[in-house]
Structure 1
Amino acid sequence: MGRRDLEAALPAGADPRRYARVLAQVHEAALTGKTPPSRPRAIIGESWQRMRRLGMDPDSRAAAPVLNFEELEARRRTSGLLEALPTLRGGLISLAEQAAHIMVVVDAAGQVLWRDGSAAVRRRADGLGFVEGADWQETAVGTNAIGTALVARRPVQVYSAEHYVRAQHSWTCAAAPLHDPRDGRLLGVVDLSGPASTVHATTLALVDAVTQLAESQLRTTHLTELERLRGFAVPVLSKVGGRAVVADEHGWVAAAAGLAPVDRIALPTGLVPGGVWLPAYGSCAVEPVPGGWLIRLVDHESAPPTRAVLDVRSPREPELTVSSAAGTWTHRLSPRHAEMLYVLASHRDGRSASELSADLFGDASRTVTVRAEMSRLRRHFGGILGAKPYRFADDVEVLVRRPASPGAVLPHSLAPAIRG
């Protein structure tokens, strides 16, 4: 499992009660415009700024809207989190009960789908409206570990007066995002919450480790499914003839004929049977097969891409739309690919591997990572990207659609070129 940046709330060696008093002073100063005794952590300060822009009332005690039973069950079925639930429960519920916490699993939209753990803490959470079916996004209940992790796309712990709404100051929460390993899509967030007096610096590391274990098991399940598709794909391709691939619904290639082998192709959002234009292959014919798609390349010269639109208005689903005379293709981007394309769109003259490394990581030496990711991007997106230096092709019109607030551009990103 890869290392992830952890946003723990309690400094090493700090006394929780004394630190909570300092946080309360920082919170009060931030709301009244006074000089604070210290600055909030960057991730908290950014969230508080979002709350002020929204006009969030820090004294609000209004309960978040709650789904009815039928709506809750429907969200559970379609969340993509059901397969991960046994691992999450096995790793966290026992600890939650022993440590006076509750384990909470929310979907990508911030709806609380499951809540288990200490009965006493669940009753306390009931009074806060922190119940199954509640909306726990920042926009509904202010700065909190769940909602802030959904925005920042990284693990975060929120303690006491770091919560924007005062009614939550008696709580501590540690949350980690859980992604679908097949396409990088954010499935939701896993959280341990409890009374502020139970805060512990290691809680976040534990939540993150169990979440990554669940992602690993989802990845194993996907590899098993892909191997099953491969057994079907090989005989199909032998009968079809010509250049073709069989891929699952996320674009992972089970088998190919007449083409250079690749692990994955970037399929458009909402792919349907029939003709489709793909930046990497040109015009193709697509038909469904059990567990995926048969994609056959059409044998005529494909029109080159002429326009690329990078849409980063959504904090969770950045998209790239590529157009040519032959058609238009839209693909949801991973957070890292969205960052890279945004930087390249901001530097039409191009960036070297070391410059792009500094842009993304604040470290010009991470060129191996940059070159590997750019290689994937160029395979996926065909002729829109060039190399030496890395750039959008000169004959491709590039348009970036941004949110109204500069701070809302890819809010999960820590890249210096974006956070600036």
Structure 2
Amino acid sequence: MSDRAIDGAIWSDRDNRATAHRLATVHEAVLAGEMTPGRTSAAPRPVIGESWRRMQVSGVDPDRDRPQVPLSVAELERRRQMSPLAGVLPILGEQLLPAADAAQQIMVVTDAEGRVLWREGSAPVRRMADRLGFDKGADWTEDVVGTNAIGTALVAGRPVLVHSAEHFVRSHHQWTCAAAPLHDPRDGRLLGTVDLSGPAASFHPTTLSLVSVVARLAEGELRSRHHLSLERLRSSAAPLLARIGGRALAVDPSGWVVGVAGLTPPDRVALPKAPEAGPLWLPRYGMCALEPLPGGWLIRVGGRERDTGPSRVVLDVSGRDGSTVTVSGPAGSWSHELTPRHAELLFVLAAHPQGRSAAELARDLFGDDSRTVTVRAELSRLRRHLASVLAHRPYRFADGVEVELRLPPRPDRLLPQSSAPAVAAARLG
């Protein structure tokens, strides 16, 4: 047996009780105000300390579980049927359930809102989980159950292990859990998490690595299925595109391009979240006509020009499952899922309507005004989708475009994965 290092902390295989005792001592010191999370060598790991600070700000009671309001049976079934994760449950089960059974743990799969959709594994451990309210339909976000692998992974956007007294709420101190987020390879959208949980005594330092690897396998399966669907659409769209006079694109429902006529093929087109057949204004091509295809859409580029330019932008950075920008005008609206860096950039521009220079944006994002090349490259990528609503010299939203910035209800939840100085300052109000 040997000590293992995880996320910057040493965990003892030889004496799990000693590890639990050390974590409990840190937990009590932080709650008693004798230690600030993350400020001393005896403090909790950074991901845990950040979560504890969120719990203290939000008023989560470490001595009392918040009452669960589980999903109804009908709603649970609806979410299961709608979830793309249903298709990769066999992979998750094949890879994780043998290890879960051997280690006296259970496998849990949640949606992006932290709701438990599926729970499988050891019957005795399931009964233990029942006493915590950790059952199908339960809400396992930080706001409800405090620091835990599922809820904290959803906020941090990366795999997280929470062991024993690293849980903020004391009733969970006899528990250990490791969770990894799962994303849709088509658009990067957060789909949920996969988690292994069980009694703290069943802790093993390789659990987090196992869960992380299996999550990547599941995402790989989703990616393979997407590629197959693109090939089917490409085969059916090719004869149609060959007969079209003029410019056109064939795309799947997420906007991934499978064929073009008269155009340089892009990788993807920004479509509305709920596209409908008919006239449509697209930021890259102007007025278009949208026609349904089996498994996708035909976009005919060009049409009668009118006052179709965008007039309103909604930048939504209020959720934990990603950020979006929605552009609206006389011809309708469309939404685009933002990368974390592009969400930071647009947030800064929305907060500074007068505009920012490349050097100012470099300081806002990196704390280093010399990183202008990186800023210009990111803005160039962003303008592929938003050229019509972004202006430069200085960089800003275009004149005449109304901008609405939707923020989270609590400032400390703003873009939780971001380390940009401008975002950190905004979290402080």
Post-superposition Cα deviations, 1:217-239, rounded to whole Å, max 9, x if no partner, equal: 11111011001101111222233
* Deviation (angstroms), 1:168: 0.4
In structure 2, distance between residues paired with 1:415 and 1:223: 35
* Distance verdict in 2 for CA 1:126–1:403, change over 3 Å: closer
The answer (yes or no) to whether the contact 1:156–1:175 under 8 Å persists in 2 is yes
1:107-152 deviation line (CA, Å, top 9, x unaligned)? 1121111222233322221221212222211222111110111122
Aligned partners of 2:187 and 2:337 also within 8 Å: no
1:340 aligned to which of 337, 345, 357: 345
Instruction: Tell me which moved more, 307-316 or 225-234.
Output: 307-316
Give the aligned residue type for 2:252: D
Q: Which amino acid aligns with 2:258?
A: A
The aligned amino acid for 2:19 is Y
Judging changes above 3 Å, is the alpha-carbon distance between structure 1 residues 13 and 405 closer, same or farther for their aligned structure 2 residues? Answer: closer
Relative to 1, partners in 2 of residues 1:358 and 1:227: Cα closer, same or farther, differing over 3 Å? farther
Name the SS of the counterpart of 1:268 in structure 2. Answer: coil
Please provide the CA RMSD for this pair.
Answer: 3.0
Alignment partners' CA distance in 1, 2:372 and 2:109 = 37
Aligned to 2:411: 406
Q: Please, which of 262, 272, 275 is the counterpart of residue 271 of structure 1?
A: 275
Residue 76 of structure 1 is matched in structure 2 by 80
Q: Partner of 1:289 in structure 2?
A: 293
* Cα deviations by residue, 1:254-282 (Å, 9 ceiling, x for unpaired): 11112221010111222222222222221
Equivalent AA in structure 1 for residue 28 of structure 2: E
Tell whether the 8 Å contact from 1:63 to 1:128 is kept in structure 2 after alignment.
no
- Number of aligned residues: 413
Report the 3-state secondary structure (helix = DSSP H, G, I; strand = E; otherwise coil) of the residue aligned with 1:249.
Answer: coil
State the partner residue of 1:204: 208
- TM-score normalised per structure 1: 0.87
What SS does the aligned partner of 1:266 have? coil
1:249 alignment partner, one of 243, 246, 253:
253
CA contact (8 A) 1:344 1:351 kept: no
| Aligned-pair CA distance for 1:9 | 5.9
- The 3-state SS of whatever aligns with 2:290 is strand
Query: Is 1:260 aligned to 2:264, yes or no?
Result: yes
Q: What corresponds to 1:3 in structure 2?
A: none
The one of 308, 311, 324 aligned to 2:313: 308
Q: Does 1:30 align with 2:12?
A: no
> Is contact 2:66–2:144 with CA below 8 Å preserved after alignment?
no
In the alignment, residue 218 of structure 1 is paired with which amino acid?
L
Distance in 2 (CA, whole Å) between partners of 1:143 and 1:389 is: 42
Q: Which residue of 2 aligns with 1:21?
A: 21
- Corresponding residue to 2:183 among 173, 179, 194: 179
Structure-1 separation of matches of 2:88 and 2:369:
37
Q: CA deviation at 1:215?
A: 0.5
1:329 partner amino acid: W
SS of match in other structure, 2:147: coil
Distance 2:371 2:181 in 1: 25
How far did 1:99 drift? 1.7
Contact 1:350/1:392 (8 A) holds in 2: no
Q: How much does 1:21 deviate? A: 2.4
In structure 2, the CA distance between the partners of 1:365 and 1:292, relative to structure 1 (3 Å rule), is farther
Which residue of the partner structure matches residue 9 of structure 2? 11
Quickly say closer, same or farther: Cα 1:375–1:215, change in 2 above 3 A.
Answer: farther
Question: Matches of 1:202 and 1:370 in 2, distance apart?
Answer: 38
Distance 2:297 2:22 in 1: 57
CA distance in 2, matches of 1:378, 1:402: 23
Q: Which amino acid aligns with 1:125?
A: A
1:179 to partner: Cα distance: 0.3
Contact in 2 for aligned 1:9/1:201 (Cα 8 Å)? no
Inter-partner Cα distance in structure 2 for 1:141 and 1:414: 25
Q: 1:146 maps to which residue?
A: 150
Question: Which stretch of the first structure deviates more once superposed, 117-126 or 320-329?
Answer: 320-329
CA–CA distance in 1 between the matches of 2:362 and 2:159? 23
Q: Give me the whole-angstrom Cα distance separating, in 1, the residues matched to 2:148 and 2:89.
A: 22
Q: Secondary structure at the match of 1:288?
A: strand
Confirm whether residue 319 of structure 1 aligns to residue 324 of structure 2.
yes
Question: Per the alignment, do residues 111 and 290 of structure 1 end up closer, same or farther by CA in structure 2, a change over 3 Å counting?
Answer: same
Comparing 272-281 with 32-41, greater Cα deviation is found at 32-41
Matched, 1:239 2:237: no
Larger deviation: 306-315 or 358-367? 358-367
Equivalent of 2:335, from 299, 313, 330? Answer: 330
SS in 2 for 1:12: strand
How far apart, in 1, do the equivalents of 2:259 and 2:371 lie? 33
- State the 1:211 CA deviation: 0.3
Unaligned runs of 5+ in 2: none
The answer to whether the 8 Å contact 2:107/2:197 transfers is yes
Distance in structure 1 (CA, Å) of the matches to 2:412 and 2:240: 49
Structure 2 distance, partners of 1:323, 1:82, is: 34
SS where residue 233 of structure 2 aligns?
A: helix
Gap change, CA 1:344 and 1:191, over 3 Å in 2: same
Q: Which amino acid in the other structure matches residue 59 of structure 2?
A: G
Which position in structure 2 is the counterpart of 1:100? Answer: 104
**8 Å Cα contact 2:280/2:332 also seen in 1:** yes
Q: Does 1:88 align with 2:86?
A: no
Q: After TM superposition, give the deviation of residue 158 of structure 1 in Å.
A: 0.9
Deviates further, 179-188 or 56-65: 56-65
**Which of 142, 159, 166 is matched with 1:162 structurally?**
166
1:20–1:82 CA distance, 2 compared to 1 (3 A): same
